[in-house]
Every structure is written in structure tokens, then in C-alpha cells.
Structure 1
């Protein structure tokens, strides 16, 4: 975890006859401003900040077009425009070179406007161990932007949410954007690989290749990914680190908040789903992030895939039944070339078994595996309550839940399931309403082997004057 020389104070970078004013986002050649588009400037900044290093094409595209599906030809067009604007190759001066089968590298010496006037070739880019992102992040721009603004000011933020909602994806995107803020880098520690909480501290220091005394002096962001199974140990660890290292910030992903000192909780909701009222317009339907993700992933699997007016109802139903969960939508879209839209819709009753990339982490290869990760970490009592609540196909009140459960400490267990992102809760019409995602309900219902919980549910509904006969039938029919 070697520290790079600090360039954060530099507002202007000089190379050749050019001055790149980072804050104003303009390039001057003497007094003359070079005309460049925003994307070209983004590409140039990424390359200059990593001068002397090869930036993979996929990584460059992901950084410059974070919310769009872009072909490599777009990148080549902008690179060519950059070279022309800079006079790359004229008078023997080279700035951007192509490394065949790999990416691009900025090869000219760069100086900052700080007092040291350090040659950038001798510097390292901001240090990190973040994995390269191969696909854009869909539907999270506003939330990621809020996180990026908050993290330099707060010291501990936890991203929480249900299985498959994209907690790691969002946290990694925010970490990418914060690379330039933290002088000593951004470092990810994947805690899914740690089973024993007693070894957690040693695992963190080993991953960072440092010791506590050294870490205490760093201006660093640590990303602790997948903390839910070590919540108590993680809480103890982050509080210890934050007390020991005054310039350290920590970003956590977990299905349950740590309940630690200084913690700010950012709950991650599913992607937005279109209402039926917009289904007469492809353009309006594409304004919803769940549909955007499905279409972008479908295009990646089936050349020429195009969302048509007659497809809108089917696509909306697919996204709705998958709860707007990015993992579930990606797994479904991966089957589009084999099943087509109608076939895919017909298979959603078995959505937990949809297969993803074999190279993905085992718990992300199917939605079943992702839910197993959560379910296996529940107590037996929590598992029973989750199973029994699966008889509710729509939102339910605490009164209804307790009537069905017949479980000691039922309200306490329900609150625990909310904290673990297995239930959601909202207030409406003067009461609290709980709801289980459809995918979670299918999973839990398959675990419910015996019992008279459906009959208890029916009995409660029959004596509730607020539920009509038609709604009763809708709730009971599978």
C-alpha cells in the first residue's frame, strides 16, 4: 500500500505546449483554447492521470460512459479526435499510444502546477485494488453521486439492501469516482472470503499489505464488501480502525446495517419499474431503470434486439416479477437468445434457477444461490417466520402477520427480518405495511413444508372487513 506523491493540490497539468485546467475542464495552448468535446476531455483526463500506464479499453469505456452501452468504435473515434487536436505525432512528439490487444497509454511527461513541479512519469496513479468494471452501472447515477458527495465528509457509510440489488456494484462505482480524492488510495476487502470473525483484522491487514500503525497515518478509503455474515466482528473492527486512523473513511456493503458509531446507512432500493400507464410509449417505458438494464443486457446477448411497442407489457411483467433486482434481471436477460421474450416470461415461475455467467462468484450465478447466502445465516426461528410469512402475496399488517405466525416473539423476529433486508416496511393509511419481494417469497414458500398457515391466513382475512372477497381470492390463488 505504497503512497503516491500528492497531486491533489495540482489544478493544472502541463504536457508539451499544453496546459490542462482540470477544474475548468479546458486545455490551452498558450492563450488559445483547444476545442474538445466533453467525452474527449474525460478520456484525456483518465489517460493523463494514469500516464505511463496502459488503460484497458474496457476499463476506459466503463469510466467515461458509466451509464451507457458503448461500442469500441466510439472510443476509437474520440481517441482519433484527441490525437488530431493535440497534434499527436507531429514533430516527433507522441501523447497517446495504442497497445495492441490491450488499451491506450499517455506517454508524454506531465508536470503539475504545485511547487515541486513533479514529472508525472515518476508518479504512480492513485493506488487501488478495485476490479475492472466490464459493464456500465444502470439507474444509479443520482444515488452514486450522493454517496460521492457524502463520503469525503462522513467516515462510515453502509450500503444495505436485499440479495441481488447491486450493493457491491454501487459501492465499487462510488469507490472508482473517489480515487482522486483519497491521497493514499481506495482499497477493497472482500469479506465473503472470511468465515471466522476472529481472523477478520488479520485478513484486512494482509489484504492491504500493511500494519495498523501505518494505516493510521493514511488518507484512505476502505471498502468492506459483503459484511452481513460477520456483522458484529465488522462493527468492532470499523470502530477500532476509525478511532486509530483519523483520516480513514470506510464504505461497507451488507444486507444489514452494522449499527456502529458514526454510521450513515444508505439503503439501496430495486430499480424503478414502469407503471401500466406508460405502456403505449417505448420512449417512456425506457425511462425506467429496470427496463433500461433488461434491454442493455438483452442486446449484449442477442444481436439486433430492439424493444418494440408490442413487447412492452411482457418486458414490464418480467421486470416486475423479478422485483426490479439487477441480478435477477441480468440472469433473465442472459436467456433471451435461447428463450425469446415470451419463453422467458413463461419460465419466470422458476426464476430462482436462471443461470448466469460461470465466471461470476458462486452466490451470484443464480438467484437461488444469492438467497441461500442470506437464508443460511438466519437462526432457525428467523427461518420459520420467513417461511410462514410467504403465505402473504401482497403487503400485510403486523396484526395479520402475528395472527398467521403463532410464534413467540413474532414482532421481534419480523423487525429482525426487516433489518436483514428480507422484508420491507412502509407506512400507509395510518398503519405499517410489510412486504416480501416476489423472488424472496418464492424462495421461502418452497421451504414451507407443512403447517396450517394458509388456513390461519384465510381465517384472518375472512374476519377482516377491510378485505373484499375478490381480493381474498387473488391473495390465495398461486
Structure 2
């Protein structure tokens, strides 16, 4: 097949029922324009220029994103959007095929014609959205982002959960960016963090959207960000929206599930951190996403920053001690020019310095890790706050029996303590691991540091330490065997 690479300004490429006008960035099905984003059109043009050939993924990325470093998931998502727009695979029509390990090929016959008169179309619009501009790449989340992008249009309602600083908003916004071309009526961010009154949620949603006729017939994606303090109202709102608008999709972020009907919950894990075992090369260390993020942000802060072999243990220690939390890693990397790696590592002995360093360009709750934790803590009941503080006496993981033995009291009987611990797990302030039959609970290092400071300020730390020591002695006495792991300090 002849190459179509040398296109004149008035060339029109025809295939199936479609006509592509490269000079106008326009594709028609008959006389109807298809809604298609700029990147999808760029990909289509490259594939049409090389119709019948296999175009490698690297070449496509280089042609479509010539000045940017992007993940392969970008290409896959736009290819999928392009196939959907063309009806690829429907009624026997095939246009774009994936050649495993090689790339993509446009396999339908393509004809080039010349038309001197341009097509005038008034109804072609740019994608509709209110998403903020992303200033830095998203690191270490390709698999999760790709999974949500594939599932969300089908499942319609998904909730991202996880602790403060884990990157729920970052992942949600990246998903929204990649789905811009899929939703005919746009992608809309509704940030609920500034609302305290549940009665205002519906009006706030309506005022954030550009639609005069409501959502009933809209094909759109809503990103409901920061739902945790308005759970009951958000639950009702989501149920109502999905029932009345069958083409609507919703992606929510919350530190705990909404428990709404048909909710698919995805708990966001920390970034991958290097193991405690020895590291032998820069390349090995850079294979972990927590290190990739640290190095990326350190380079943005300190020109010429390079990870060297003598730095590997320090960087690993930093990433592990902040639990692989993206926000904590970014805050740590921001201090690289002032403290250098050795100084930064020393500051992490209690994390307090890190907790109070700020990012002036972020929203208030993301400017410091302390602010992010304050956001969760201030929304706990007084009894939940007390339990969170008291549990910080455990340096390692602990069982429910250990928690009852150390902090239970007349004010806090065992059954109440169990219910509160389960609520703290749902709110992403504790994690739970199923060790054999007995669940074990654990703090993130940063959360424990925060809670321990609260406990010390309350004046109850010494009493809890004595209770912990007494319970440890009793457990050792009655067991007659080496102490359980929750007491290995």
C-alpha cells in the first residue's frame, strides 16, 4: 500500500463510512462529526499515514507526545477511545489491531482524495471539564490507573480509599484526564473538602456543573473528591444520581468507603519501597516506585541531583520510614537542598520535622502531612481520638487482646474498644493484617508519630507505658514462652 505520509493541505482520507480531514482536525461519519480528542486524532493520523504497516508503541508516543514523557497507559487509553469512536469490532468492521510485542496497525483500506472546499462544522467542541492542570508526572500508579480506566465506564461507581497522603486525589484526577474523550458531556471535579454542612452538597454539585437541564440524560463522569466527612449525604446523593442518570459514572475519593449501593471499593496501597535486605545497584533501587518519586521530586528541587550507590541505604531508609506515602515522600524530597540526604535521614527519627514542612502551592490539607492527618483526626469523635492516641503506645503490630489488656478501662469496655478499632480501620487510620486466625493491627509510622505526640500532650503517655509494661510482664509470665511479636519492640 502506498504511504500517505506526504499529505497535502486539502487531502481527505476515507475509510469505511468515515472521512478524515487532517488540515481541519476533523473526522466525519457521513456528514456527522465524531467527537474525538486531539491525542486520539493525532494517533489516527499517524496510523493512517502508515496504513498497512505496524507502527511501534515507541514511535506512536514520540509522534503524539514529542515534548513530553508519558506512560504507555496514555497510549493504550487513547487507542481504546479511538476504537470506541470508530465502532471498531462492531458489525464486522475492523480498523486498528494490536500486534503483540510490536505495536499497532491500521488494517482497513484507505483512499486519499482531494477536496478544495473545507467543511464547516459548528458543533465540534473541545472536551468539557474543570480539571486542574497537572504540573508533575504521576509515578508508580500505572497499573491502578489503567485498571480504573477500564472498569469505571462499565461499573459506573468506584471509590478510592486510603490514608492521608496516599494519593487518592492524584490517582482520581489522572483517571479523569485519561477518560476525557470517553464522556460526551465531560468530566467534572467536585471537591467537597470545603463543605461542612451536608445540606449544601446537592446545591454545591449543581453549581459546579455547566448543565442547564440537569444530569438525567448526560453521559458524564463526576469525580467526588474528599467524601469522608459527608459520608451519609454522599451515599444518598450517589444512589440518587446513578438511579436517575443511567449514563452517568462516578469516581469518589474517601478515607473510608461510602457504603452506597453497587459501590466498587479500591483501597490504594503505598508506593513500592525497597526491602530491608541489601541493595546492590542504582538500577535495582530505581525499580521501586517510592524511590522513583523521591528522585523525581529531588531533581525538581535540586538541579543535578543524581542517585549514587553511596546514597542507596539512605534513600531506602527514608522511603520505608515514611511508609511509601507519596505526600510524605514529596515533602521529604522538598528538603533535599537544605538538609542533604544524611540530614534528611536524621530528621526522620520522629518524623515531626517532616510533618510540619509545607507545600505552598497545594491546597491547605495537602500542604503538610500534619495538615492531612489533622483533617482525619478532627473529624473523629472524642472517644475515637482517645483510642487512637492510646493505641500509639504500641510500637509494632498488636492484637485486639493486647489492645484490651493495655488500654481497656471502665470508660472503655472491651466491646466498645472493638467497635472503635474497627471504625479506625475503616477510616484508614489503622491497617489490619490477618496473621493465621488472629487479626493484627498496625499504624503507619507517620500516623503513629502523630498520635503519639497527641498522647504525650494529653499527659497520659507515662500511664499507658506503665500499663503496656505490666501487660507485657503478665503475658510473659502466663505464657512461659518467648513474647508474642506485638511486644517485640
TM-score (norm 2): 0.76
Residue in structure 1 matched with residue 60 of structure 2 by the alignment: 41
2: CA distance between counterparts of 1:185 and 1:286? 37
2: CA distance between counterparts of 1:17 and 1:411? 64
Q: Give the 3-state SS of the residue equivalent to 1:277 in structure 2.
A: coil
2: CA distance between counterparts of 1:340 and 1:324? 19
Pair 1:403-2:405 in alignment: yes
CA shift at 1:36, angstroms? 6.7
Q: How many residues align?
A: 405
| Structure 2 stretches lacking a partner, 5+ long | 1-15, 28-39, 75-117
| Structure 1 stretches lacking a partner, 5+ long | 1-8, 47-56, 69-116
Pair 1:426-2:428 in alignment: no
Contact 1:66 1:136 in 2 (8 A): no
2: CA distance between counterparts of 1:411 and 1:11? 63
Residue in structure 1 matched with residue 279 of structure 2 by the alignment: 279
Residue in structure 2 matched with residue 162 of structure 1 by the alignment: 163
Q: Give the 3-state SS of the residue equivalent to 1:136 in structure 2.
A: coil
Please identify, of 420-429 and 409-418, the stretch whose mean Cα deviation from structure 2 is larger. Answer: 420-429
Q: Give the 3-state SS of the residue equivalent to 2:68 in structure 1.
A: helix
Contact 1:351 1:367 in 2 (8 A): no
2: CA distance between counterparts of 1:32 and 1:426? 53
Residue in structure 2 matched with residue 378 of structure 1 by the alignment: 380
2: CA distance between counterparts of 1:10 and 1:377? 57
Pair 1:460-2:460 in alignment: no
Of the candidates 47, 51, 55, which is equivalent to residue 27 of structure 1? Answer: 47
CA shift at 1:41, angstroms? 3.4
Pair 1:437-2:438 in alignment: no
Pair 1:219-2:219 in alignment: yes
Contact 2:43 2:64 in 1 (8 A): no
CA shift at 1:130, angstroms? 0.8
CA shift at 1:229, angstroms? 0.9
CA shift at 1:426, angstroms? 0.9
Offset from partner CA, 1:407-459 (integer Å, 9 cap, x none): 23000000000000000001113311100111000111111123322222222
Please identify, of 462-471 and 435-444, the stretch whose mean Cα deviation from structure 2 is larger. Answer: 462-471
Would the alpha carbon gap of residues 311 and 10 (structure 1) be closer, same or farther in structure 2, given more than 3 Å must change? farther
Q: Which has the larger radius of gyration?
A: 2
What root-mean-square deviation, in Å, do the aligned CA atoms of Structure 1 and Structure 2 show?
Answer: 3.1
CA shift at 1:319, angstroms? 0.9
Residue in structure 2 matched with residue 178 of structure 1 by the alignment: 179
Contact 1:12 1:21 in 2 (8 A): no
CA shift at 1:281, angstroms? 1.9
Contact 2:270 2:326 in 1 (8 A): yes
Q: Give the 3-state SS of the residue equivalent to 2:155 in structure 1.
A: coil
1: CA distance between counterparts of 2:271 and 2:19? 39
Contact 1:21 1:27 in 2 (8 A): no
CA shift at 1:179, angstroms? 1.0
Residue in structure 1 matched with residue 84 of structure 2 by the alignment: none
2: CA distance between counterparts of 1:470 and 1:431? 12
CA shift at 1:357, angstroms? 2.3
2: CA distance between counterparts of 1:274 and 1:155? 35
Would the alpha carbon gap of residues 25 and 290 (structure 1) be closer, same or farther in structure 2, given more than 3 Å must change? farther
Please identify, of 20-29 and 336-345, the stretch whose mean Cα deviation from structure 2 is larger. Answer: 20-29
2: CA distance between counterparts of 1:11 and 1:461? 75
Contact 1:271 1:289 in 2 (8 A): yes
1: CA distance between counterparts of 2:119 and 2:367? 47
Please identify, of 350-359 and 393-402, the stretch whose mean Cα deviation from structure 2 is larger. Answer: 350-359
Contact 2:396 2:487 in 1 (8 A): no
CA shift at 1:313, angstroms? 1.0
TM-score (norm 1): 0.78
1: CA distance between counterparts of 2:44 and 2:472? 63
Would the alpha carbon gap of residues 192 and 437 (structure 1) be closer, same or farther in structure 2, given more than 3 Å must change? same
Of the candidates 400, 418, 421, which is equivalent to residue 414 of structure 1? Answer: 421
Residue in structure 1 matched with residue 112 of structure 2 by the alignment: none
2: CA distance between counterparts of 1:170 and 1:245? 25
Residue in structure 2 matched with residue 73 of structure 1 by the alignment: none
CA shift at 1:196, angstroms? 1.0
Offset from partner CA, 1:84-136 (integer Å, 9 cap, x none): xxxxxxxxxxxxxxxxxxxxxxxxxxxxxxxxx97678511221111111111
CA shift at 1:346, angstroms? 1.2
Q: Give the 3-state SS of the residue equivalent to 1:275 in structure 2.
A: coil
Would the alpha carbon gap of residues 17 and 424 (structure 1) be closer, same or farther in structure 2, given more than 3 Å must change? closer
Pair 1:450-2:469 in alignment: no
Would the alpha carbon gap of residues 172 and 17 (structure 1) be closer, same or farther in structure 2, given more than 3 Å must change? closer
CA shift at 1:209, angstroms? 2.9
Q: Give the 3-state SS of the residue equivalent to 1:315 in structure 2.
A: helix
CA shift at 1:190, angstroms? 0.6
Offset from partner CA, 1:33-57 (integer Å, 9 cap, x none): 79976466347657xxxxxxxxxx9
CA shift at 1:379, angstroms? 0.2
CA shift at 1:13, angstroms? 3.9
Would the alpha carbon gap of residues 413 and 469 (structure 1) be closer, same or farther in structure 2, given more than 3 Å must change? closer
2: CA distance between counterparts of 1:137 and 1:10? 38
Q: Give the 3-state SS of the residue equivalent to 1:434 in structure 2.
A: strand
2: CA distance between counterparts of 1:277 and 1:24? 47
Contact 1:26 1:34 in 2 (8 A): no
